[in-house]
Chains A and B, each alone.
Chain A
């Protein structure tokens, strides 16, 4: 057993490092960390355009559609370096969620129409899956699409839609047939957000930010050519891609970076004159997380390695999702604990410098919004059901 990198891999690592070092400068970093409003969208789009110009925007795609053609090892190196440099991952809805559905199940016109604009970040996508009455039980969704003439008439409500306020397009699961098993009457529909009858309502969250929305459809007319694959087969298409979505949720590289930051902060924060990093209880909490993360890193590598030898991510990707999100939450928790009193300050006009403990506000926000990680993408309870059924045969 080894994780030896070849000379070529090491060369590739240096290239990735050099690219990040030169392109991901303080300006870009600042823009990507502010996290609000149109400036935030602009910062993300312009960073993703840089990656696109380099040809690195879609490592997960097949090469023929604009993927990088990297080996599994190269993908691992890229992710590791990205996380180590503190660079946020690309917004997943277009690049990692709808694009694989389009290039796997879409027709040639759809591929030609949508994929290039996803690669270039000219189209911003959001995901229309959950509904007020369909959360973990996603197949209970009731947004309807009635076929009439050359259009579907869509009515209903989607909820928890991240970044719908920025989106040009939404990919939706909609009900096209009733009176069949609930999974069988669902279709996969691409909807232009500018369609009359489509509206977006913000849902403020406990971190004080706006990323979630409700998306309403009132007699929205969607052309038939926006249907992916066959009508009533949408559940199959969506499900096929879920394992890919979960594999990405281990976020090992990001957690490693957060943990490294946390350690630095723990070395700077003192209690009774002693750095918190030297506090034996704090050390135990820290290493509980660090050892779990060291394990997850290799669990993920094992999944990658089996994918490299031809396997597809199976139910073990649920393990990555569960552990990955539990670990990132535990880092958020410890970071907020470190912020102590200052985690509660709603700073108003006070700068970080004036208040001190400059990470504290972000620590609170990460903690609060971070609670969502074990809920979205199939709650961790649902993931446990998946493993119970598919791995343990219970």
Chain B
């Protein structure tokens, strides 16, 4: 039994924490968000130099050969700084799908470029009608002489405007809701027929509507077997959910710390408001909420270790843990965010204070790849449908 991060992981955490503390203060972040691209290329180059972009990738492609645990250690610290550079989009999701795929040529071409910072990537999966069911895909990829022709529209493609490359989920067979018949393609973001309408999101990041109008791709751009895209997505999803939840956990613990500290300095009725039991008990509840969420993250990591060591056993436990984690982070993230604002009082709803910005990132994480209710429903299906 072991619940400690390894020495290496603690070094990663410390290095990200130092960056957040020394270089990524609130004003710096604000200026980055207000810039044209909405991210700092300088910081991204620095991430590459520090090796952060190499963490989850196999050593044969120049990666660090890390596990989901390493990614999680990193994400928690990035969350504490609400870092807007697209680590999740590029490394965790885009890189994760690529790594899990079987196309060696694509891996050999793209992973080194992710690691050296020259490739920013994004996953285009969502459509107007699909909400949280990833397999609800109408965008089509029809066989042509030279490979496939993609037509359709993808919405809320995070960081699409800065991405050089997109992984696009398109239907090669089956009806609109069929999990079979979805294929993943590696597509150059500047390919003819692609248009990107980008906008800013409340959490300081960017998203875009991306339309595909007769976009020609070749067979070699397929990530895996034709029609088997969901297998790759399903395989990577637990680690995506854990990485997002780790980011959320970093935010939740930060909100709690800021709030507790604030009550010790804010005076009302001639005394610090931290002395009021009505507030104390609420802060205890948010503390416990954070600890319980962390326990589910660790549970997921233990399940992932189990799956990694024995590829079949434990995969249901891993899925259940990941759903429980995402659902719990949704519930407790909301509690912690709302309590942080309430306990701060009026200042808590100002744009000037950092609290609201942490809360808005939590809100975005909540809806990313399924909100709390969605994951709880999935959890219920896995747990109760066979009884």
B383 beta carbon closer than 8 Å to chain A: yes
The distance in angstroms between the C-alpha atoms of A190 and B288, with both chains bound, is 37
B89 beta carbon closer than 8 Å to chain A: no
* B interface residue numbers (CB < 8 A to A): 1-5, 69, 260, 263-264, 274-275, 277, 280-281, 283-285, 287-288, 291-293, 295-296, 298-299, 301-302, 305-306, 320-321, 324, 327-328, 376-377, 379-380, 383-385, 387
Give, as a whole number of angstroms, the nearest-CB distance from A123 to chain B: 35
CB < 8 Å: which of B281, B288, B301, B320 contacts A319? Answer: B288
Q: Are A394 and B260 in contact (CB under 8 A)?
A: yes
Q: Are A295 and B296 in contact (CB under 8 A)?
A: yes
Q: Are A388 and B295 in contact (CB under 8 A)?
A: no
CB < 8 Å: which of A76, A302, A308, A384 contacts B280? Answer: A384
Contacting residues, chain B, for A288 (C-beta < 8 A): 376
- Chain A 1-27 per-residue mask, 1 if CB under 8 angstroms from chain B, else 0: 111100000000000000000000000
Between B287, B288, B292, the greatest number of chain A beta carbons within 10 A of the residue's beta carbon is seen for B288
- Contact A291:B324 (CB < 8 A) given known A263-B387, A322-B288, A391-B287: yes
Going nearest first, the 4 A-B pairs with the smallest beta carbon separation are A298-B295, A388-B280, A295-B292, A291-B324
Contacting residues, chain B, for A76 (C-beta < 8 A): 1
CB < 8 Å: which of A3, A73, A299 contacts B291? Answer: A299
Between A278, A287, A316, A391, the greatest number of chain B beta carbons within 10 A of the residue's beta carbon is seen for A287
The distance in angstroms between the C-alpha atoms of A347 and B264, with both chains bound, is 56
Closest to B72 in A: A1
Give, as a whole number of angstroms, the nearest-CB distance from A374 to chain B: 13
Q: Are A323 and B302 in contact (CB under 8 A)?
A: no
Closest to B6 in A: A1
Q: Are B298 and A298 in contact (CB under 8 A)?
A: yes
Give, as a whole number of angstroms, the nearest-CB distance from B174 to chain A: 27
Q: Are A301 and B280 in contact (CB under 8 A)?
A: no
The distance in angstroms between the C-alpha atoms of A264 and B386, with both chains bound, is 11
- Chain A 251-288 per-residue mask, 1 if CB under 8 angstroms from chain B, else 0: 00000000000011011000000010110100110111
Contacting residues, chain B, for A299 (C-beta < 8 A): 291-292, 295
Q: Are A1 and B291 in contact (CB under 8 A)?
A: no
Q: Are A296 and B380 in contact (CB under 8 A)?
A: no
Besides A301-B295, A304-B1, 6 other A-B contacts (C-beta < 8 A): A287-B379, A287-B383, A294-B296, A295-B324, A392-B283, A392-B287
Q: Are A295 and B328 in contact (CB under 8 A)?
A: yes
Closest to A309 in B: B4
Between B284, B293, B305, B327, the greatest number of chain A beta carbons within 10 A of the residue's beta carbon is seen for B284
The distance in angstroms between the C-alpha atoms of A278 and B296, with both chains bound, is 25
Q: Are A381 and B2 in contact (CB under 8 A)?
A: no
Q: Are A277 and B305 in contact (CB under 8 A)?
A: no
A333 beta carbon closer than 8 Å to chain B: no
Give, as a whole number of angstroms, the nearest-CB distance from B147 to chain A: 43
Contacting residues, chain A, for B4 (C-beta < 8 A): 1, 305
Q: Are B387 and A294 in contact (CB under 8 A)?
A: no
A387 beta carbon closer than 8 Å to chain B: yes
Q: Are B305 and A2 in contact (CB under 8 A)?
A: yes
Contacting residues, chain B, for A322 (C-beta < 8 A): 288
Contacting residues, chain A, for B299 (C-beta < 8 A): 294-295, 297-298
The distance in angstroms between the C-alpha atoms of A301 and B287, with both chains bound, is 18
Q: Are B296 and A298 in contact (CB under 8 A)?
A: yes
A138 beta carbon closer than 8 Å to chain B: no
Q: Are B295 and A73 in contact (CB under 8 A)?
A: no
Q: Are B384 and A295 in contact (CB under 8 A)?
A: no
Q: Are B296 and A388 in contact (CB under 8 A)?
A: no
A290 beta carbon closer than 8 Å to chain B: yes
Q: Are A291 and B379 in contact (CB under 8 A)?
A: yes
Q: Are A290 and B383 in contact (CB under 8 A)?
A: yes
Contacting residues, chain A, for B291 (C-beta < 8 A): 299, 316, 319
